[in-house]
Amino acid sequence: MAIGEDQSYDAAFLIYSYKLPCILSGMRTLVVVLILIGSTAVCAQNSPSLKETFEWMHSAFPESRSASESRLNETRELNFVDGKNGASPSCTITIVEHWKADDKPVTKDTTIDLSLIDPDSIKAYVDDVLDKNSGELTMVATDDKKIIIERIENRENDKPSLSERIFISFIVPDYAARFAKAFKNAVVLCGGKRSTF
C-alpha cells in the first residue's frame, strides 16, 4: 500500500511538473498580450482623432499651396463633412481648386474616400522638376482601384474622370511631410487597407 501511494504521488508530481512550465508560458504570453494591448491603447489615445486631423488639414491646406499655384493665383481648400450629434466625420474628403483659364473661372473637385486608400502608399518627397524645392505628396487607392473622382467644372466636357492615384503639391517639403502624416492618420482611422501586392 505504501508503494501505491508513492507511485500516485510520483505520477501527480510528474503531471504537476509537466503542466507548470505550460502554465507559466501561458502567463508570460498573457502578460505580453496585455502589454501590447496597453501600448496600442496609449498610442491610439495619443494620435489625433479623425475630426482633429480633418480640422487641421482644412485650416492648413489653403496656405500650403505650391509656389507656381501662388504665382498663378490659384486657391484651394480641403473640405470634409462633420458627423452629426458627436459622430465621427465622413471619410470622404473633397479637394477644391480654383483658377482662371482665358479669363474664365475654373473649378476642379477631387473627391477621395480615404477608407479606400492604401496607407502604405502615402509618400512625401521633394519636387525638383517643376517647382525647385517644393513638396509633393502622392497616395494610391488600395489594389490600384480607380476610386478617386476628378471633375473640372466650367469646361465643355465636365464629365468626371476616375483615377487610382493623386499628386498634391506643397510650397515646401515640410508641408508635404506633415500632410502625408495627417493623411496616413486619417486613412488608418477610416480603416484603409494595404494593397494585396
What global pTM score does this model have? 0.75
pLDDT tens digits, one per residue of 62-93:
999 887 787 788 999 999 999 999 899 999 99
Percent of the chain with pLDDT over 70: 75
- Pick the more confident residue, 171 or 22: 171
Cell of 86: 458627436
Provide CB contacts within 8 A for 38, sequence distance 6+. Answer: none
Residues 36 and 132 in one domain: no
Residues 186 and 164 occupy one common structural domain = yes
* pLDDT-based confidence at residue 4 (cuts at 50, 70, 90): low
Contact residues for 131 (Cβ-Cβ < 8 A; gap 6+)? 66, 67, 68, 169
Q: Is residue 110 part of a domain?
A: yes
CA distance 41 to 30: 16
17 in any annotated domain:
yes
User: Does the residue 195 lie in any domain?
Assistant: no
The backbone torsions φ and ψ at residue 99, rounded to the nearest 5 degrees and listed phi first, read -155, 180
* Of residues 96, 125, 118, 90, the one with CA closest to residue 184: 118
Contact (Cβ atoms closer than 8 angstroms) between residue 131 and residue 169: yes
State the cell numbers at 176. Answer: 508635404
* Residue range of the domain that includes 39: 1-46
In a domain, 196, yes or no: no
The tally of CA atoms less than 13 A away on the side-chain side of residue 16 is 6
Q: What is the pLDDT of residues 107-141, one digit of tens each?
A: 999 999 999 999 999 999 998 876 778 899 999 99
Q: How far apart are CA 16 and CA 82, in angstroms?
A: 59
Same-domain pairing of 42 and 129: no
Q: Give the count of domains, the chain.
A: 2
* Distance from C-alpha of 149 to C-alpha of 110, rounded to nearest angstrom: 6
Mark whether 116 and 153 lie in a shared domain: yes
Same domain, 38 and 119: no
Question: Do 5 and 73 share a domain, yes or no?
Answer: no
Residue 7 counted as domain residue: yes
